[in-house]
Structure 1
Amino acid sequence: MSDTAFTSPQEVEVAFYAALARADLDAMMAVWCDDEEVVCVHPGAPRVVGLAAVRNTWQQLFSDGPRLKIEVTQQVVSAGTVMAMHSVLQHVQIDGDDELHPPIVATNIFIRGAKGWRLLAHHASPTPDLHAGDPDAPMLVH
């Protein structure tokens, strides 16, 4: 884990998305807590648990270098003194792809420890393409 002292969950989240956009593995791993029960779920991928497994998934994702532009919107925050949860929409643009994709819904859970705030869990899932099919169809809630 990095010696960087994040003073708020928001600071961790900004660093997380900056590392993601730069495909910077060291910066990405600096935001995670050193708890072996860290959890990460990438869109459409299985859950991974533990720092080594989380690092491996980011390393694979970053293997082609920086290629993502990410805008985070509609943040919903629930925060206490030692734990915070952020639910956001991630609008992801891939370099060279001009297609508008549905947003990805993500939940980021942060904990505060002796070395400040860190990311404990990141879960990202695709949202349904609301522009496809019948716009009057009811939304499925599960």
Structure 2
Amino acid sequence: MLNDRQKAEILFANERFYAAFSGGDMTAMDSLWGSDGPVCCLHPGWEPLMERNRIIASWNAVLQAPPPIVCAAPSVLPLGEDGAAVICWEGIEEDYLIATNIYRREGGMWKIVHHQAGPVNGTPPTSAQPPQNNRVN
């Protein structure tokens, strides 16, 4: 089971993912993806990407003109001691997607190994605030 510090680290990794996404930061995006095992990315409307080099190439294309994306209401679901899923809402202007981001610990860092976003009905809970740029340590 994950402790509170580990959950905070995972949420921080998720914040870094969305900062790279919204900021068009390809160097950061590349550094956030796992490299020690299987990875998967399912962009809405794209074919499944199951190889790291194809995933990074896809982000290179997306980040040429990144959407004004905001992550809202992230929730951590533990997946053992070295893994967790973050379920969150992706706000793009007036529309929302629901996303699943799976993280695995690699070399002491939480790396994203799966990203999937798709259409959803509704909006995030009204109490949800976009993540703050808080440091874990």
Q: CA deviation at 1:126?
A: 1.7
Residue segments in structure 2 that go unaligned for 5+ positions in a row: 1-7, 123-137
**What is the aligned counterpart of 1:112 among 105, 108, 116?**
105
Match in the other structure for 2:83: 83
Q: Deviations over 1:38-96 (max 9, x none)?
A: 101111211101210001101111223xx422222232221242111111111113xxx
Match in the other structure for 2:117: 124
Q: 1:85, 1:37 → 2: CA distance?
A: 15
Q: 2:99, 2:51 → 1: CA distance?
A: 19
Does the 8 Å contact 1:35/1:51 carry over to 2? no
Does the 8 Å contact 2:22/2:70 carry over to 1? no
Residue segments in structure 1 that go unaligned for 5+ positions in a row: 1-6, 94-99, 131-142
Partner SS state of residue 114, structure 2: strand
User: Is 1:9 the counterpart of 2:10 in the alignment?
Assistant: yes
Does the 8 Å contact 2:82/2:105 carry over to 1? yes
RMSD: 1.8
Identical positions, percent: 25
* TM-score with structure 1 setting the length: 0.72
Match in the other structure for 2:56: 55
Q: Deviations over 1:76-125 (max 9, x none)?
A: 221242111111111113xxxxxx22x10100000112242111101111
Does the 8 Å contact 2:43/2:116 carry over to 1? yes
* Bigger helix share: 2
User: Is 1:73 the counterpart of 2:72 in the alignment?
Assistant: yes
Partner SS state of residue 30, structure 1: helix
Q: Aligned residue pairs: how many?
A: 114
Counterpart of 1:81 in structure 2: which amino acid? E
Match in the other structure for 2:125: none
Q: CA deviation at 1:31?
A: 0.7
Partner SS state of residue 47, structure 1: coil
* TM-score with structure 2 setting the length: 0.75
